[in-house]
Structure 1
Amino acid sequence: MLIKEFRIVLPLTIQEYQVAQLYSVAEASKNETGGGEGVEVLVNEPYEGEPLFNNQYNTGQYTHKIYHIEQKLPNYLRLLAPKSVFTFHEIAWNAYPYCRTVITNPDYMKDNFEVKIETLHLPDRGTSENAHNLPKDVYKKVQIVNIDIADDSSLPKADRKAETDPAKFHSTKTGRGPLIGDWKATVEPAMCCYKLVSCNFKWFGLQTKVENFLMDIEKRLFTKFHRELFCWIDRWHGLSMKDIRSLEERTKAELDNKRLKCGLSGTTDLE
């Protein structure tokens, strides 16, 4: 098993991020869906009674999604495995400011594949050590990865777009941006997403390669997603949670239509 903690500092408040994240998930899902590929939402409903993070949180929003991504993966995986390998289930408990997401492949890999993402949102600049309160012997093995959303040097050319570049974007609603220089140390407001990612892939001869591949995908997706989230601030700033739930209902129907009737779109060549 490979474990990394991704730290993503953002020029937002904790309260703003709750709306921003849900809005951006809906928009990103639409952008990644088409040509039979993309996101299918099965369940999106409130839940209670699922204790998370040392029993600190037990109510929130539960979602179950299916990701169809065969055409987005590298050829060596497509050649080695049957079609059922490329359908992933995502179950998530959003008990904001804590969220747990578990991605599995129940149709083929079953217990031999799991990606778990535990996210804690804190009002700091990425300075909290062991934010997830892991045992010391476990935490010392965790690799810390700091993501700067204003730095696109690690992204492929396909992910670099002028309209979602925080180093160039300026918000007319809030006056925030562009994010330049040592912005993470000086920007106000500030918060950090602490994403603890555990990858477990049990397939003889491919475990290390695939687990590292999955971590590279997560870093790319986290970077791209949060660059977009900030640059979409003038779209979501001022929306209520009621507005977000209405948006999610509309998005569910739109995703079904795009997946079945539109062409392939979004992130490709995940290698």
Structure 2
Amino acid sequence: MRKRMLTSFSRVPLPLTVEEYHLAQLWAVAEASKRETGGGEGIEVITNEHFTDYPLMAGRYISGQYTYKIFHLKQFIYSIVYMVCCSKVPSFIRLLAPEGALEVHEKSWNAYPYSKTLYCNPYMKDDFLISVETVHAADRGNTENIHGLMRSKWREVEVVMVDIANDPVSAADYHPDEDPTKYISKKTGRGPLRDPYWWLQSEPVMTCYKLVSCEFRWFGIQARVERYIQDFERRIITNFHRQVFCWMDEWYGLTMEDIRCIEDLTKKELDQQRREGTVRGTLG
């Protein structure tokens, strides 16, 4: 069995400043959460509070916002089963039946411009873990090993450039009003992003550097599940950042006080939506 987690390193350039992205990300997370919740599935916000004295990235960041969420993802878990297990679906689903098996718990420490998010499953415990560490920098995606990994570890990392304008998206994920090659912001005049290497000329520009590590210790299917989860993370990263840009006129000009009010209202909406309607969004 492989000892090391499957790890990828994504560079995501955006035509924003680092300061703008801080607000944009928080607003977009709240909006995307509502789109992914309904019919008994989706996101439940348990905790959203300030933290201090919690050392992150070798102690460089110690304070920020902590959130704890539960993702009720029955359809997502089943999709993993179907995609990677094929004929094993019936018995595997029965194994996932115990309480907690169809949930993913998210713990996130946002000490912007750095954040760390962990995903785990109560049923699998230490046998399932996804770690996402993000550094936001005012550059054009050209910083190597920004997380400071040991050289031996860095050599094993899969490096991916995510182009929100030109990377292909599935037909199910595509929406014309979320297409960066068509979108023009009325408030800022930015867009559309049509050049093959638009981030080399864009002003402003910044990059999200995401280090995604995945471990799924289940004999016989570990490699396939880890690969599937990495591909799913790439899909989420691409779609989310396309939305961040194309929703610019919704979040541009907001303050952090505005964002905290929106988050409080979103928590109430999510609780109601999870009890009503149908499964929607990426999980549908």
Task: Please state which band the TM-score falls in when normalised by the shorter chain.
Answer: over 0.9
Q: Take 1:82 and 1:140, find their aligned partners in 2: how far apart are those partners?
A: 35
* TM-score normalised by L of structure 1: 0.96
- Structure 2 CA distance, aligned partners of 1:50 and 1:203? 32
The equivalent of 1:112 in structure 2 is 127
Aligned to 1:164: 178
**Could you say which residue in structure 2 is the equivalent of 1:69?**
73
- Structure 2 stretches lacking a partner, 5+ long: none
- Cα distance in 1 between the residues matched to 2:282 and 2:116: 23
The one-letter amino acid of 1:99's match is S
Q: 1:123 aligns with which of 132, 138, 143?
A: 138
Q: Secondary structure at the match of 1:158?
A: coil
Matches within 5 A, 1:1-271: 1-72=5-76, 73-74=78-79, 75-76=81-82, 79=90, 80=92, 81-83=95-97, 84-106=100-122, 108-153=123-168, 155-181=169-195, 182-268=197-283
Paired residues of 1:152 and 1:160 also in contact (CA < 8 A): no
**Offset of 1:242 from its aligned partner?**
0.2
Q: How far off is 1:46 after superposition?
A: 0.3
Aligned mates of 2:199, 2:17 — CA distance in 1:
14
Say whether the 8 Å CA contact 1:4–1:145 is kept in structure 2. yes
Pairwise CA distance, 1:152? 4.3
Distance 1:118 1:31 in 2: 24
CA distance in 1, matches of 2:210, 2:267: 26
Q: Tell me, in whole angstroms, the C-alpha distance in 2 between the residues paired with 1:93 and 1:82.
A: 29
State, as a whole percentage, how many aligned pairs show the same letter: 49
Write out the 4+ residue segments of structure 1 that deviate beyond 6 Å after TM superposition.
none
- Aligned partners of 2:260, 2:189: CA distance in 1, in Å? 27
SS at match of 2:52: strand
Is the contact made by 2:73 and 2:283 (CA closer than 8 Å) also made in structure 1?
no
Structure 1 position 82, deviation (Å): 1.8
2:167 and 2:177 mapped to 1: Cα distance?
A: 13
| Cα distance in structure 2, aligned partners of 1:226 and 1:56 | 26
Return the alpha-carbon distance in structure 2 between the equivalents of residues 231 and 57 of structure 1. Answer: 30
- The residue type paired with residue 152 of structure 2 is D
Shift of residue 268, structure 1, vs aligned partner: 3.2
- Structure number with the higher strand fraction is 1
Q: Does the Cα contact within 8 Å between 2:14 and 2:205 map onto a contact in 1?
A: yes
2:180–2:246 Cα contact (<8 Å) kept: yes
The CA RMSD over aligned residues, in Å, is 1.1
Alpha-carbon distance between aligned partners in 2 of 1:90 and 1:122, rounded to the nearest angstrom: 24
Given that 1:89 and 1:105 are in contact with CA atoms closer than 8 Å, whether structure 2 keeps it comes out as yes
**TM-superposition CA deviations, 1:159-185 (whole Å, max 9, x none):** 110000001000000000000112111
C-alpha distance in 2 between matches for 1:69 and 1:151: 30
Alignment-mate amino acid for residue 87 of structure 1: E
Where structure 1 has 5 or more consecutive residues not aligned to the other structure, the ranges are none
Number of residues of Structure 1 aligned to a counterpart in Structure 2? 267
Describe the superposition over 1:136-161 as per-residue Cα deviations: whole angstroms up to 9, x where unpaired.
010011110110000241x2111110
